[in-house]
Amino acid sequence: MTELLSIILAAGEGTRMRSALPKVLHPVGGLPIIGHVAQAARDAGSSQIALVTGPKHEAIRAAVSAMQPDVVHFEQTEAKGTAHAAAMARDLFAKAQGYVAVVYGDHPRLRGENFRVVLDRLDAGLDVAILGFEPKDPTGYGRFITDGETLLAIREHKDATEEERGIGLCNACILAFRADVFRELIDKVDNNNVQNEYYLGDLVGLANKAGKKVGFGIAPEDDVIGVNDRSQLAHAEALFQEMRRDDFMKAGVTLKDPGSVWFSYDTEIAQDVTIEPNVVFGPGVRIESGAVIHAFSHIEGAHVGPNSSVGPFARLRPGANLAEGAKIGNFVEIKQAEIGKGAKVSHLSYIGDASIGSEVNIGAGVITVNYDGYNKHRTNVGDNAFIGSNSSLVAPLTIGTSALVGSGSVITEDVEADALALGRSRQVNKPGRAKEIFAAAKAKKQNKKGL
């Protein structure tokens, strides 16, 4: 495969988002917009990725480096247009031997195959290939001026004539060049336009004047939508979710009410999993075959083993790891805990920083007391243990195999295997005392009314 340098442009301020968070860091499917673009570039075969950001975009640089550690950063100190921004990556494209693709960083639906549409045109002999699309409303987009399969120019909307504004084929978000052609032309772009900016699209006209072969490819509109405001962000999210739901159902996952289930970019679900309505998957979730996720559950950073059951109204937080056949019931929260094969945490419990063995029964209202105000501590429960309802397990703590904890206990010391542990005060009954208390309370209430 030909060497590919991808230059991602993310120097804009994104003011229409009206947010302290940079536009390209807003998530779609749990992944920042810029993360989708970087992954698409990588999937297209990019051997190098350059990221061009503005002077106050440390957060963008840090986020992309976390996702793509070998990305090379460049800064556009003054906002002078897209061609000026792309030129900031000179240290890389000056040495590039294959292709250079320049892509805008605010297109969360991009995939590697969108890059390949134009890269394949370069493979076929073109010097320049630009990705286009046909939007329902072309207002604001640069128009493709074509002659057959040749792209003659890209005319920005503000510079276009009324006749040119009637063109439906528009500039999308990927411009691909042979590296030598990009080097030859990038510094010839001028700012003789309404905005006084250096437009990347002007490279098309310059390439034609230089006798280069210039063409285009076309992508579906939904693949190349950009995000400039909250409405467009919501639209991108809706398209992403629709795609993921369809992908999962085609792969053998049952969605009882597809429109109410929300996925993340990295959600993994095996076939024959059933998902009931109103379930949300955050990042880092893997669900194995035969599991059932009941309604109104929230799962993030968790693994659900084969034939397990979760919910309804359950929350699995990062580090939750359910073995085969485990059951997590209603209003149960699991965090940083292993739940063994066939274990049951059926209702109203919190299990955090714990290892629960196989076939363990956790009664209603049981909590692991894992935090002392400064540090987290672990609770270990052996196989076949039974923890009675409304008990508190104060970590650090180990409860042995087949041990029994009586209901309502506060357990602060280790319990050996096969032992019965009781951690509660002895019950005392006082005959007639309840009647006296109720009578006194009633008299007090009547006295207040009399006043």
**Residue 13: what pLDDT?**
83
User: Please, are residues 131 and 118 in contact by the beta-carbon 8 Å criterion?
Assistant: yes
Scan for tokens 């419990």, then name that residue.
Answer: 349
SS3 breakdown of the chain: % helix, strand, coil, rounded to 5? 25, 30, 45
**Residue 427: what pLDDT?**
84
What are the residues whose beta carbons fall under 8 Å from the beta carbon of 191, sequence distance 6 or more?
Answer: 80, 81, 197, 198
Q: Which helix (H) or strand (E) segment is 48 a member of?
A: strand 48-53
**Token pair for 168:** 């439906």
In sequence order, what are the beta bridge partners of 75? Answer: 53
Handedness of CA 26, 28, 30, 32 (dihedral sign): negative
Distances (CA, A) of 179 to 2, 4, 5, 6, 149: 11, 9, 9, 11, 22
**Residue 26: what pLDDT?**
97
What are the residues whose beta carbons fall under 8 Å from the beta carbon of 438, sequence distance 6 or more?
Answer: none
Q: Which of the residues 36, 73, 347, 377 is marked catalytic?
A: 347
SS (H, E, C) 232-246: HHHHHHHHHHHHHHH
Q: What are phi and psi of 40, to 5 degrees?
A: -65, -40
Mind listing the pLDDT tens digit of every residue in the chain (451 residues)?
799 999 999 998 888 999 999 999 999 999 999 999 999 999 999 999 999 999 989 999 999 999 999 999 999 999 899 999 999 999 999 999 999 999 999 999 999 999 999 999 999 999 999 999 999 999 889 999 999 999 999 998 888 889 999 999 999 999 999 999 999 999 999 998 888 899 999 999 999 999 999 999 999 999 999 999 999 999 999 999 999 999 999 999 999 999 999 999 999 999 999 999 999 999 999 999 999 999 999 999 999 999 999 999 999 999 999 999 999 999 999 999 999 999 999 999 999 999 999 999 999 999 999 999 999 999 999 999 999 999 999 999 999 999 999 999 999 999 999 999 999 888 899 999 999 989 999 998 888 776 5
**Residue 322: what pLDDT?**
98
Residue 347 annotated as catalytic: yes
How many angstroms separate the CA atoms of 334 and 366, rounded? 12
Q: Which helix (H) or strand (E) segment is 378 a member of?
A: none
**Token pair for 310:** 């979760």
How many angstroms separate the CA atoms of 332 and 364, rounded? 9
**Residue 238: what pLDDT?**
97
**Token pair for 264:** 């993340």
Scan for tokens 């714990």, then name that residue.
Answer: 354
**Residue 445: what pLDDT?**
85
**Residue 451: what pLDDT?**
56
